[in-house]
Amino acid sequence: MTDLSNFWRGRRVLITGHTGFKGGWLAIWLRKLGADLTGIALQPTTKPNLFDLAHIDAEIKSHLIDIRDYAKLSKIVHAIQPEIIFHLAAQPLVRSSYNDPLHTYSTNVMGTANLLESMRGIDSIKVAVMVTTDKVYHNREWHYPYRETDSLGGYDPYSSSKAASEFVIESYRRSFLQSLGINVASARAGNVIGGGDWSQDRLIPDAIRAWQAKLQLQIRQPRSIRPWQHVLEPLHGYMTLAQKLWKNSDAAGSYNFGPLTNESASVQQVIELARSDFSPSEVFYLEDNQGPHEACYLALETAKVRETLGIHPVWSLAENVRRTMVWYQAQSNGVEARELCLRDIANYETACRNSPT
C-alpha cells in the first residue's frame, strides 16, 4: 500500500462514473492517496446516494455530462489532460437493460467508444483501465470458472452490451492506442457489495431497504451462485493494474477480479450472512422466478491477477458481508458516510499489509 501511495500522489486521474457506487469509493480512496481527480458522469440515479452523502464533489472536479455526447466528452478529456483513466460509467443493471435496451447499448457500447476515441491525440494519457463485468462471458451454466481467454457473449442486453464493449476496447487498443503509447486493459469484476449502494434490483441494497422499513425481503433466485466481493477488492485491483500498465505495456489485456473460486456463494448464503448482522429481518425465498432470464451460475478464475499483479482477496465472504452491514447500520445511526468509507479503506490497507503473499 506504501507503493500505491507513492505512485498516486499528484497523478492526474480521470474517473468516469464517479457519481456511482464503485466510482465514489474509488474517488475517496484516490484522494486519500493524493491523486488529482476529475470526474465525468451523470447525476446520481438514487436517493440516498454515496456521492451526496460522502460529499465526493469536494474530492473531485466534477463534470455532469452524458458519455454518449462525444463532443462534450472529448472537449473535457482534452482540457484536463489526464495521465490515467478509469472508465466506470455505464448502465450497470441487468433488469434495467430489459426495460430500456437501447439506452443500455448506447451507454455501454457507444459511450465506451466515445471515450476511447477522445483519448486519441492526447499525449498525457499513459494508462486506461476500462471496467466491464464478469457477465461478459458466454455463460454455459457450467461449474467451471471463466478465464480471460474464454468466449464472450451475453443473453440479456446488459451482458451483451458489456461483451460488445470488450470488442470495442480491444479494437481501439490494437488499432490506435497501443501505437500512441497508451496502455489499455479491461477489468472484469464479480458481484460487488459494500456500504453506500442504493441501486434498485441489487441484493444488499434491496435487503437494506426492506429491513430498514421492517418489510419482508423477497428473493427471486436464492440458488444463483455469484463471485461476491467487497468493493475495495476490485478497486485495489484496478489501481494495482494501472500502476502495472504505467511501467509495462506487456500488461495490456483483460483481467478477472473476484474471490477465490471456493468463495463463490449463492444468493441465499449471502442473505443469511447478512441477516445474522441485521436482526430482526424477514426473508421469503421464491422458488419459481417469473422474471426475465438471469444466469444461475457464474464463477471467475483469477489466477492471472494473482500471478501478474501479485494480488489476491484479503477478506472472506463472511467478512465482506459483515463490513457491508455494519456500514449501513452505522450510517443510519448518524455516522458520516465519508468517515465510514475511510474507516473501511484504512482497515483494508492494514489487511493488505498483513496478508501473506
Q: Please write the tens of the pLDDT for every residue from 64-123.
A: 999 999 999 999 999 999 999 999 999 998 889 999 999 999 999 999 999 999 999 899
Three-state DSSP at 238 gives helix
pLDDT of the residue at 247: 95
pLDDT of the residue at 286: 87
pLDDT of the residue at 144: 86
pLDDT of the residue at 49: 98
Question: pLDDT tens for residues 167-209?
Answer: 999 999 999 999 999 999 999 998 999 999 999 989 999 999 9
Q: How many CB atoms lie within 10 A of CB 2?
A: 8
pTM over 0.85: yes
239 is written with which cell numbers?
489501481
Given the C-alpha cell 449501513, which residue does it identify? Answer: 328
pLDDT of the residue at 274: 96
Distances (CA, A) of 353 to 3, 31, 164, 350, 357: 11, 20, 37, 5, 9
Identify the segments of the chain with pLDDT beneath 70: 1-3, 288-295, 357
Residues 6+ apart with CB under 8 A from 208: 198, 278, 328
pLDDT of the residue at 277: 86
pLDDT of the residue at 355: 82
Q: Where are the domains of the chain?
A: 2-354
Short-list 270, 274, 266, CA closest to 328: 274
Fold of 2-354: Rossmann fold (3.40.50)
